[in-house]
Structure formats: structure tokens, C-alpha cells
Amino acid sequence: MAKIVNYISEAFEELKSNVTWPEWAQVQSLTIVVAVFSVLFALATWGVDEFFAKALEGFFNWMKA
């Protein structure tokens, strides 16, 4: 148990002393960039899914006829 406590305390010390944290304005702008690209990627994935669903539906309707 002492090893776990030591590991956690060393990890917190590392975070406080050796990590360079970005400025709050940079964090906000990068968060917006990530959110916008996430929405765009989700819309692109939805569009491709809808396209293939319609294509397969048309193919199977053509095969049935």
C-alpha cells in the first residue's frame, strides 16, 4: 500500500513541478476546435452511413424486382 501512496504523491509532484500547462485562453480555443471537428466528423460519418444505407436498400430492391 505504501508503494501506491508513494506513486500517487510522486505523480502529483511531477504534475505540479515539471508539466507546462497551457494558458486558459489557449485551452478554450483548442476546446472549441476539438468540438467543431467532432461535430464535423460525426456529420460526415452520418452522411456516409446514410449513403450506404440508401445504396444497399436500392440494390436489394433491384435484386428483388
pLDDT at 65 over 90: no
- Write out the residue range of the structural domain in which residue 6 sits: 1-64
Percent of the chain with pLDDT over 90: 88
Rounded Cα distance between 43 and 47, Å, is 6
How far from chain centre, in Å, is Cα 56?
29
Distances from the Cα of 6 to the Cα of 13, 14, 17, 32, angstroms: 11, 12, 16, 37
Tell me the pLDDT tens digit for each residue of 29-52. Answer: 999 999 999 999 999 999 999 999
Instruction: Cell numbers for 60, please give them.
Output: 436489394
Backbone angles phi, psi at 3, to 5 degrees: -65, -40
pTM for the model: 0.65
Average pLDDT over residues 14-38: 95
> Considering its fold, how many domains does the chain have in total?
1
